[in-house]
Amino acid sequence: MTQTAANPHSPADVFTGLPVGEAGLAEAHALYRGMTVVRAVELEIEKMHRLGRMSGSFHSSLGQEAAAVGVCAALRDGDMVTSTHRGHGHALAKGVPMEGVFAELFGRTSGVSGGRGGSMHLHDRPSGFLGENAIVAGGLPWAAGAAWARRRRGGDDIAVAFIGDGGFAQGVTHETLLLARFWASPCLIVCENNGLAHSMPSDRLFGAPGSIARIVEGTGMHARYVDGRDVVAVAETAREMVARVRAGTPAFLECGVYRVRPHSLSDPDYRYRPKSAGPDWLALNDPIANLRTRLEAHAANRVARIDAEVAAEVEAARDRAEAAERPPAAAAKSFVYTSPELQNHA
Ligand SMILES: Cc1ncc(C[n+]2csc(CCOP(=O)(O)OP(=O)(O)O)c2C)c(N)n1
Ligand SMILES: [Mg+2]
């Protein structure tokens, strides 16, 4: 059955975005660069899979870059992030080095998880990226607990848990929202409502975009909805919410985005939505193309320079990552249980 209702942004709702004011220009360029990095890295990963140089699973966040980049722009280095199976954007936006991401997906020792985790198990403590999690909504109690523990030790670091709309249907999500409020855990839950939990349209479960935030608001937690196509709006909203969380109360942000690619590399999505659904959405709503148009009105060269710099950076990082060492077969049983060999667990 074809389920077109999954697209949260109808053609009548073509995204135009706000004009970027002079004051915000430097930040808008930084946000543009951040989104371009995520897009370029993920396109490169797809290419590596097509060429047979990378293996394993991959869940693309193409089209959703503004949510990851806008939210992480509101964070400090010491803040923590937990993520999902679709987490490359979250990792890169939080500052995980792209070479370590590529190396992880190539299965190299220099990968951020020693080449053992792959696409769904990126983690990098030095960047505050506690990790992705292949268990839907598994990152949420992790973030709430980490934020609570950090607060008990002193300081005002916070944690952000990215979850999907499918994650919002998990029991652990609602248990954690309750506990986070009860214990005043300084965590921000960011629900990327991309219209689909694999093949299940989220509006069938929860209603139109914005309904998830309203459900949470009904429980007494501060909750907002933001259009996840507009990175400037996401960053502004996230800053307001992060300030509130840093002051000591959890909060919830629903970002309206859309899953452009199939669920994963091996998903025949044409069975549950028209084949052109993703490209059609992107043609009208691409958060990167949209911001590029808005920024080019100010300085076309600057945007082109960012594009070129990012392309060169990604190619060089991929080359270095691919050339790195593979773990020896004799070490296959290392890291199965925690051990002093673990480099990255502080
Ligand atoms: C606890 C659990 N149940 C089911 C799955 C299988 N599964 C993997 S991704 C996914 C859909 C998740 O949808 P959503 O949270 O909206 O994230 P999206 O894929 O849209 O980014 C499901 C059901 C899983 N990994 N973990
Ligand atoms: Mg989803």
* Annotated domain spans of the chain: 23-320
Question: According to the model, what pLDDT value does residue 279 have?
Answer: 97
Write down the pLDDT at residue 341.
61
310 C-alpha to ligand 1 centroid (Å): 31
Over residues 114-163, the pLDDT tens digits come to: 999 999 999 999 999 999 999 999 999 999 999 999 999 999 999 999 99
How buried is 144 (Cβ within 10 angstroms: 0-12 exposed, 13-18 middle, 19+ buried)?
buried
Centre of ligand 2 to C-alpha 265, Å, is 15
CATH architecture of the domain covering 23-320: 3-Layer(aba) Sandwich (3.40)
Instruction: Summarize pLDDT for 197-242 with one digit per residue, the tens.
Output: 999 999 999 999 999 999 999 999 999 999 999 999 999 999 999 9
Closest ligand, as measured to the CA of 86: 1
| Residues near ligand 1 (Cβ within 6 A) | 84-86, 134-136, 164-167, 194, 196-198, 259, 263
Query: End-to-end alpha-carbon separation of the chain, Å?
Result: 49
Identify which of 61, 64, 85 to mutate to test ligand 1's pocket (most ligand atoms within 8 A of the CB): 85
Atom of ligand 1 nearest to the CA of 134: 25
Reported as type and span, the H/E element at residue 188 is: strand 187-193
214 Cα: distance to centroid of ligand 1 (angstroms): 22
Determine the distance from the C-alpha atom of residue 230 to the mean position of all C-alpha atoms in its chain, rounded to a whole number.
15
Question: Which residue lies with its CA nearest to atom 13 of ligand 1?
Answer: 197
Which pLDDT value is given to residue 1?
36
How far is the centre of ligand 2, averaged over its atoms, from the C-alpha of 225 (Å)?
15
